[in-house]
Structure formats: structure tokens, C-alpha cells
Structure 1
Amino acid sequence: MAVLAIANNFHQANQRSRDTHEKRWLKPNPRFVKLNVDASFHVDEGTGATAAVIQDEKGNFLAAQCKYLTHVSDVVTSETLAMRNGLAFANSFGFPRVEAESDSTTVIEYFSGQTRWWDAAAAIFAECVDVSSLIGKVTFKHCDRSSNQAAHVLASHSFCNKINSSWVNEPPAYLIPKLLDDVIPS
């Protein structure tokens, strides 16, 4: 089982997009908020972190959170925990329509029904479905790693500092450059 987890982690970490063109963050559909999630996983320590960033249809920062994971088995589990934590965070604000994005192809394929859940993350996936039903309308989309940098920075910050934090209306200073990159055309 451990060998399979290590092989899966290696595959997930080294999976490259065929399109080398850098993609940018896209605004959500009108009346939706955008939830970008990401995870950090460190196999040697069996730890990681999750992050969620919520922005409105104009790209304005609404809220963010990061959570340190003291025990996590693999990269798919950490990415699924990121989605669950992000959905629960969005639900706590009462947003009725959420576009949830992850740069994990595997997680998005699970939500779109392209892949069946037969691994350790199955119970977490079920929790995501439950939280989604509480929100109302949730759409799941894959995003390129380059358009998920704000969530990536938060997950890395949480892992490096072993902290849980959340912000509402005012992002942490170190996140502002990534948020600006999202909404200002280059």
C-alpha cells in the first residue's frame, strides 16, 4: 500500500500540462464567487497544508484560509481535504453559488464523474458532496497551476509555519501581489 501511495504521489507531483501557455485566473460567472483551493503535501513528514481563496466576480478578495495538516497519507487526500475545507469555508459565509477550482486533475475528475473513488480520499469526497448540497449551486473546474498561485502561496505559508489562519476582506500582505496578478492584465 505504501509503495502505491509513493508512486501515486510521484505521478501527481510530476504530471505536466500539455499546454505550455501560461493560463491566468478567470473571473467566475455572474453572481458566483470563485473558490480556488490548493494543498501542500510532504511525503517524508506525512504532513501538509490546505488553502482556500475566495474572490467575487470582479476579482475582489473576499476571504482566505489555510490549515496545517499534521497527518495526511498522500497527495490526493491532501488535495481533496483542500476542496472540503474550502467548500466548508465558503459555506460558512452563506455564498449560494460557488465556482470551485483546483489544479489537481484527479480531484476535478472525481467531481465530474470521470473517475471513481476507490482510495483513502473517498470519505472526504463524500463530505465535499454533502457540503456542496448545503451551499446550493457548486461547479467544479480544473485550473492550471499558474492560475492558482494565491492558494498555492497560502498552502506553502501554512506548511512552512505550521499554522492555521483565516482572513476576511483584507488579505495578508504577502498574498497581495498574487491577487493583483489575477486581476490586472499583463
Structure 2
Amino acid sequence: MKFIRLRPKRPRPRRPAPPQRDAVTPALGVIALFAVCGLGWIAVDQFLPASSQVATFAGTAQERTARFSMCGRNRHTCVVDGDTIWLDGQNLRLQSYDTPEPHNDICGGQAEVALAHRASARLLELLNSNSFTVQTSGQDRYGRVLATIRIGGRDVGDILIEEGLARRWPDGHEWWCE
């Protein structure tokens, strides 16, 4: 009889199971990244000086067009009155001229309010029917960006003054108060 000697099998060392992948931690990281970026965007918009916010218009002499309406709740691209507009979300005070106030009859009563509405309507018509250039230069005391808008090389203020809808600023006579 022949004996076959069997060697006992040694158990192979087991490899540890691969670790479970955590899907929550990367997702929270992505959410945190978006939150930080969003807060940064808001902080830049709120706290940078207005001169750096106006970079879109500063120094450009490129002609452009836009579709304006009279301002209501949505103040993105609209006409506030004869010398103030919103353009692409920025409040612009048009320089070198002044128009009557449409909401508070400061000195001219209802005649001033009526003239203010005519000036606003004319500015709306000029902006919607022509291409124009925008040039900015600082801010006024109310935080509005000071700007000059030209149509065919002419300041819109000069057009409104010629048509009897505005006066020179700051030394023009408020003739609508008489």
C-alpha cells in the first residue's frame, strides 16, 4: 500500500474588502464650493466701488442698442425720468442737463409734472429708435453712475434742451418753475 501524504492547505490571507465609497462627502463639498462662490459673487457686487462695477460702459465708444420701457418694478433697462435711466441693471444719471421731476411737483405744479412726462417719453423714444454710445465718469451723491449718452455723436441732453424739455445743469434756469 502506498501512502500519499497530503499537506494540509494553509488558508490564504484574505484581502480586506474595499472600503465603501462615501457619496455624501463629495456632494457636500460641491455644495459648499457653490455656496462660497455665490457668496463671493454677492460680496463683490455689494462691496466693490461703483467705478469698478461700471467697467462694462467705461471707455467704450461702441454703438449699441437696447429695448427700454418706462421703469416699474423691473429696473434692468428702463427710463426713470428725462435724465435718469437703468441700463443693463445699472442706474445711470445723465450728465450736463436736468429735466423736471415727474413725481413731486417741486416748484411748477402740474405743469412741471406734465413736462416731466413729456421729457421721459421723448428720452424713451430717442433710446429705442437709435443706436447710442455710453460714456461714464464717476458717481453722484445718490450712488448713481454719471453718464453721457450720445446719439449720432450728439448728447441726448442737447436734444432735449433744444426741444424745450430740459435745461443745462447745473447753471441752467428752472424755467418750468415760473
* Short-chain TM bin: under 0.3
| Larger of the two Rg values belongs to structure | 2
What's the TM-score, normalizing by structure 2?
Answer: 0.24
- State the structure with bigger RCO (CA 8 A, min sep 6), 1 or 2: 1
Q: Which has the higher helix share?
A: 1
What's the TM-score, normalizing by structure 1?
Answer: 0.23
